[in-house]
Amino acid sequence: MTDYPPSAKDIRGPSPLIAIANEPPAKLIVDPPLPESLAQGRVFIQYRTENLRVLPVFGEGALDVSPRIGHMHITVDDAPWHFVDASGETIILVGLEPGLHKVLIELADPTHKVITSETVTFTLPAPRS
């Protein structure tokens, strides 16, 4: 019996060229910060989504796009503001003071309505002297 490699659909999900009826709920999976970067004073947080593509498309009209699209809201240490990321790439934070930090990562629809969220806490070590 021959083992076949996974198909593109197996890895990447459904084609963005065909609408999906009854899409399952969007999911957000967030990893802890990469320890190698923390040791250097930088925070690299990898994440992935399921049943939602992260794209820089906004507004009411984008709610009808299928497969579903959205973007990220990122809040650091309970700040009264957040920044938006629509790259779909690793979140990078620099310039934080050593110590305990918390990052709220929210998956939002094209109108900025939050769909789901995850919080990551970590300790940034003091720089080596």
Residues 86-106 as b or e (16 or more Cβ within 10 Å = b): beeeebebeeeeeeebebbbb
pLDDT cut 70: percent of the chain above it: 96
Per-residue confidence (pLDDT) for residue 1, from 0 to 100: 60
The structure's pTM equals: 0.84
For 26-124, the fitting CATH number among 3.30.310, 3.30.420, 2.60.40, 3.40.1350 is: 2.60.40
Query: What residue segments make up the domains of the chain, in order of their start?
Result: 26-124
Task: Confirm if 49 and 24 have CB atoms less than 8 A apart.
Answer: no
**What is the per-residue pLDDT across 17-65, written as a single tens digit (0 to 9) for each?**
777 778 899 999 999 999 999 999 999 999 999 999 999 999 999 998 8
Average pLDDT rounded to a whole number, residues 13-18: 72
